[in-house]
Amino acid sequence: MGMTMTQKILSRKAGKQDCAPGDLIEAKLDFLLGNDITTPPAIEIFEKNGFGKVFDTDKIALVPDHFAPNKDIKSAEQCKRMRDFAKSQNIKYYFEQGQEGMGVEHVILPDNGLVKPGDVVIGADSHTCTYGAVGAFSTGVGSTDLACSMAAGTTWFRVPEAIKVELKGKIGPYCAGKDVILYLIGKIGVDGALYKSLEFTGEGVSELSMADRLTICNMAIECGAKNGIFPIDEKTIEYLDSRVQGGYKEAPDWLFPDPDAGYSQVVTIDLSEIRPMVAFPHLPSNTHAVGTFEKIKIDQVVIGSCTNGRIEDMRKAAAVLKGRTIAEGMRAIVLPGSQRVYKQALSEGLLEIFVDSGCVVSAPTCGPCLGGHMGVLAKGEKCVSTTNRNFVGRMGHKESEVYLAGVEVAAASAVLGYIGSPEEL
């Protein structure tokens, strides 16, 4: 039987001709990631075990994005621990707050050209699956795995089975990658792809921008997937060519699924049937199309995160908010995903649009996405958020409610005061 994209990458990085779902393989790692929450425990393990030096100073990124700029003394100490380790180990990609190229980890790794097709990437963060958008095998691990892998440069994987997600048709107005992935999770459930690879394919792929693909792969973990992965096309090459050092002109010729690759399931999605989606509390699978439910009054809107904090997202939000003000009593927080996104939004006049409409514009940070800072919810409050999780207490009090949506629905809801679409404005 032939191999899926994920099998091809894993077998190659394990130095094997082939591999099958269920095989245990040890793969060479092309890139590793840690943040200010997960790296300090990894450093602890690294040092306790006397690992000494990291395997490659140029293949590790450490990003203080969760509680940074530091929200309290504890987070300041965590960031300091990571900063000191990066310095002592001479780690090339330690991103300091405010520095060019800095931002939320899953926005900046692809944007800085640090992940490429065929790479194997691990990160001590569950949304490391984002980089499947550029044809990499990327997945989240725990701090112990990060510690050992920083020393060894390899790690073990059980080769996942794959679900083929066949995309067809054209995506409709006010719909984007967020609506596609919410639709898929609504269809298969939060455990619908447990430890499986989501392999996207079909003519509909070319309809999706790289920003859409990054959003879709970012949320692969929300249906339990080990990874999500897109095939390489002209859009991928164009995206990488302007980011990877030295340019990027050609995709690896081995990186495509075999015609007889085995899939445990095939899910077909007609993009033209998808409407702007909202995931109600408290699961990303609790999806409803906008316009199919009664008015739900909200207190706050958050636009940003590793899911929807890219410049394309800022542009879409600004297009909805331009010349409008947010509803009375509403709080709207916009978090550009990186310094580069912030600067680009500034130069395009988008930040002025946000401020004029009554939004708070934050420095790039995870902030409210994990109930950290910059917009934590009080008891009973309701928030529409472009982030990726709406579990109980995710963004604040355990009796607050998070409704996940795309950028245009979030922006429109900030103006309307209830969950709605731009068509209602």
**Which residues, 6+ apart, have CB-to-CB distance to 14 below 8 Å?**
25, 26, 27, 28
- Closest to 61 measured CA to CA, from 117, 6, 121, 14: 121
CB of 305 to ligand SF4, least distance (A): 4
CB of 261 to ligand SF4, least distance (A): 30
CA distance linking residue 205 with residue 331, whole number of Å = 36
**Which residues, 6+ apart, have CB-to-CB distance to 421 below 8 Å?**
174, 276, 290, 291, 408, 409, 412
CB of 367 to ligand SF4, least distance (A): 8
Nearer to ligand SF4, 231 or 284 (CB): 284
Nearer to ligand SF4, 4 or 365 (CB): 365
CB of 341 to ligand SF4, least distance (A): 13
Residue 17's φ and ψ, nearest 5 degrees, are -70, -40
CB of 424 to ligand SF4, least distance (A): 28
Q: Would you tell me which residues interact with ligand SF4 (CB under 6 A)?
A: 66, 104-106, 125, 127, 305-306, 366, 369-370, 387-388
HEC-encoded secondary structure of 302-365: EEEHHHHCCHHHHHHHHHHHCCCCCCCCCEEEEECCEHHHHHHHHHCCHHHHHHHHCCEECCCC
Nearer to ligand SF4, 163 or 404 (CB): 404
CA distance linking residue 350 with residue 41, whole number of Å = 39
CB of 366 to ligand SF4, least distance (A): 3
Nearer to ligand SF4, 164 or 226 (CB): 226
Nearer to ligand SF4, 311 or 369 (CB): 369
Nearer to ligand SF4, 66 or 116 (CB): 66
Query: Helix, strand, or coil here: 246?
Result: coil
CA distances from 87 to 69, 96, 160, 301 (A): 19, 11, 36, 38
Nearer to ligand SF4, 125 or 313 (CB): 125
Strands in 81-148 per DSSP E: 93-94, 120-123, 137-140
CB of 170 to ligand SF4, least distance (A): 29
